[in-house]
Amino acid sequence: ILEMLKGAMGELTLGNPDRLSTDVGPVIDEEARGNILRHIEAMRAKGRRVHQADPGAADTPACRHGTFVPPTLIELDSIAELKREVFGPVLHVVRFPRTALDKLIDQINGTGYGLTLGVHTRIDETIAHIVDRADVGNLYVNRNVVGAVVGVQPFGGEGLSGTGPKAGGPLYLHRLLSVCPQDAVARAVRASDATGGVAAAPASAELAALKAWAQVSLPEVAEACDRLAAASPSGLGVTLPGPTGERNTYSLLPRERVLCLAQQESDLVLQLAAVLAVGSEALCVDTAQTRALSERLPAAVQSRVHMVSDWTSTDTAFDAVLHHGDSDQLRTVCEQVATRTGPIVGVQGLAHGEPNIALERLLIERSLSVNTAAAGGNASLMTIG
């Protein structure tokens, strides 16, 4: 395989991307080029095998005035050798035994980067296993991992590889609105389905338990539980339009932990309702007030609530923040969140008593593109009458 890859690299042409004959264009700027070249030299200095089909290709007249990097292949012993994203025409190769597939996926997830992942296999069980475990925004099966098409493969990573809505996805325009109906996103996701047969997301038993508990003392929150359940797009999966021989799907999944910050009990319970509506878990600051509230909650809800003494600690993990309070408090929270290392964490600020929580900001988007022709053809064509 490596010999074939090296041979294919030798066929690539560097040059101006406005030429049809060009296969590889420049990287974004001189700083990026310098970082990539230094990485290549660092790997070479470590004794790693480095292959460049034509090291002088970047110095030809066609490339002299651009920031080009020659296609490079580097053989590594472990993914742990990569400390940061190398965004350029550099392919790292790591060999692993099939029995260590889960360990490899854990190492990939552990890097914190999650833009794209490519899988080449005809074993459906392997595909399903990797899709379920990989923390990436775009996953491609038996096809190349570039060339995402707007509306067909909504594009955007997660973790250190991106934050916010996917480009070309159903959430993008809604993020630009200051106000919209709470169920607008769920309706937009369903409308994007090419088959017209989107199943409703399963109801949350924990949210139903919270609603029943709140009906006596917090009737406004109990009412909000119904709205949140109806508006939640979590768990929705749609089939997007695309060419024959390819299946493109888009799904929304809950974030792992949402930090809930509020001074008023009603606001905090509303935040819990939103977290349960999307299927996530809540992280609350351990105070006398929150501890007393937690002890009164139904057991099913308590199991989804975690207490932490200091949410600003680097050991405290969360990937979204809900905050009810005034603008000064919100500014302080945003500043504290911004100082955290690792992925950017979005903060959703709301005024006291504000019920319209944007549920889509508590979700992650996943795009899956499968080359069905590689598995023997597009069976869906047989259903066309």
pLDDT of residue 381: 61
C-alpha to C-alpha distance for 207 and 227, rounded to whole angstroms: 11
Rounded Cα gap, residues 170 and 151, in angstroms: 8
Domain coordinates of the chain in residue numbers? 1-95, 202-229+255-364
The pLDDT value recorded for residue 84 is 87
Q: How far apart are CA 131 and CA 140, in angstroms?
A: 9
Name the stretches of the chain with pLDDT < 50: none
pLDDT digits (tens, 9 = 90+) for 92-121: 999 999 999 999 999 999 999 999 999 999
pTM for the whole structure: 0.88
How confident is the model at residue 126, as a pLDDT? 95
Task: Please list, in sequence order, all residues whose beta carbon lies within 8 angstroms of the beta carbon of residue 117, skipping any fewer than 6 positions away.
Answer: 108, 130, 134, 136, 138, 139, 140, 145
The token pair that represents 293 in the structure block: 């509230």
Could you read off the pLDDT of 217-238 as tens digits, one per residue? 999 999 999 999 999 999 999 9
Please tell me the predicted confidence (pLDDT) of residue 338.
96
Q: In what order do the strands lie in the sheet with 347-350?
A: 305-308, 281-285, 257-261, 320-324, 347-350
Given CATH 3.20.20.140, say whether it is the number of domain 202-229+255-364. no
- Which pLDDT score, from 0 to 100, does residue 163 have? 80
384 CB neighbour count, 10 Å cutoff: 5
Strand extents, DSSP E, 43-165: 49-52, 72-76, 90-94, 113-114, 116-119, 138-141, 158-159
Per-residue confidence (pLDDT) for residue 384, from 0 to 100 = 61
- Whole-number Cα distances in Å, 145 to 124, 140, 141, 272: 19, 6, 9, 38
Q: Which of 209, 193, 208, 296 is nearest to 252 (CA)?
A: 193
pLDDT at 273: 98
CATH topology of domain 1-95: Aldehyde Dehydrogenase; Chain A, domain 2 (3.40.309)
Task: Please tell me the predicted confidence (pLDDT) of residue 201.
Answer: 66
Site of tokens 């105070």? 287
pLDDT digits (tens, 9 = 90+) for 143-166: 999 888 888 999 999 999 988 899
User: In the predicted model, what is the mean pLDDT of the chain?
Assistant: 92
Whether the domain at 1-95 and the domain at 202-229+255-364 fall into the same CATH topology: no
